[in-house]
C-alpha cells in the first residue's frame, strides 16, 4: 500500500511555529521536488501552499515553508495566525500524471 502518513492534528498558539510531518510508505518515495502541500478550509477550494518541496506560489505568505529529511517531508508555519486554522495535506507524485495525498492534518490555533 502506497501512502503518505501525517499526524491527525497539530496545535499551537498565535505567534508560535508548528511543523507538520509527512512520511512516505510503500512505493511512495518523498523527494525534494515531488512534494506539495495544500491548505483546505472545509467547504472551500483547497489552496496550493508549497510545491516542489519548498517553493511558494505567488501570493502565499513566506510564513509557510517546506523541507525534507530522509523519507519525511515537513511543512512549517511560523508566526501562527488564526486564519491558518485549517486542514493541511501533503501530496507526492507517483508518476504518469498521478498523485497521492496524505491523510490530512487538522491545525488548531489555540
Partner 1 sequence: EMQLLESGGDLVQPGGSLRLSCAASGFTFSSYAMTWVRQRPGKGLEWVSAISGTGGNIYYADSVQGRFIISRDNSKNTVYLQMNSLRVEDTAVYHCAKGRGERWLPHHWGQGTLVTVSS
Q: 57, 81, 83, 110: which one contacts partner 1 (CB under 8 A)?
A: 57
Question: What gap in Å lies between CA 23 and CA 81, rounded to an integer?
Answer: 25
Question: What is the H or E stretch that residue 10 is in?
Answer: strand 9-12
Is 38 near partner 1 (CB under 8 A)?
A: yes
Least distance to partner 1, CB of residue 82, Å: 22
Least distance to partner 1, CB of residue 51, Å: 6
Q: Compute the radius of gyration of the chain from its Cα atoms.
A: 13
Choose among 26, 24, 30: nearest CA to 1. Answer: 26
Kindly list the residues in this chain that would bind partner 1 in the complex (CB under 8 A).
34, 36, 38, 40, 43-48, 51, 57, 89, 91, 93, 96-104
Amino acid at each position: 500500500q502506497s501512502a503518505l502518513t501525517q499526524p491527525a492534528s497539530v496545535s499551537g498558539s498565535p505567534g508560535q511555529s508548528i511543523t507538520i510531518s509527512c512520511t512516505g510508505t510503500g512505493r511512495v518515495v518523498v523527494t525534494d521536488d515531488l512534494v506539495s502541500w495544500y491548505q483546505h478550509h472545509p467547504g472551500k477550494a483547497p489552496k496550493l501552499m508549497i510545491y516542489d518541496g519548498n517553493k511558494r506560489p505567488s501570493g502565499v505568505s513566506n510564513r509557510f515553508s517546506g523541507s525534507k529529511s530522509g523519507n519525511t517531508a515537513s511543512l512549517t508555519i511560523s508566526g501562527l495566525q488564526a486564519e491558518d486554522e485549517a486542514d493541511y495535506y501533503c501530496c507526492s507524485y507517483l508518476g504518469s500524471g498521478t498523485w497521492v495525498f496524505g491523510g490530512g492534518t487538522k491545525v488548531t490555533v489555540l
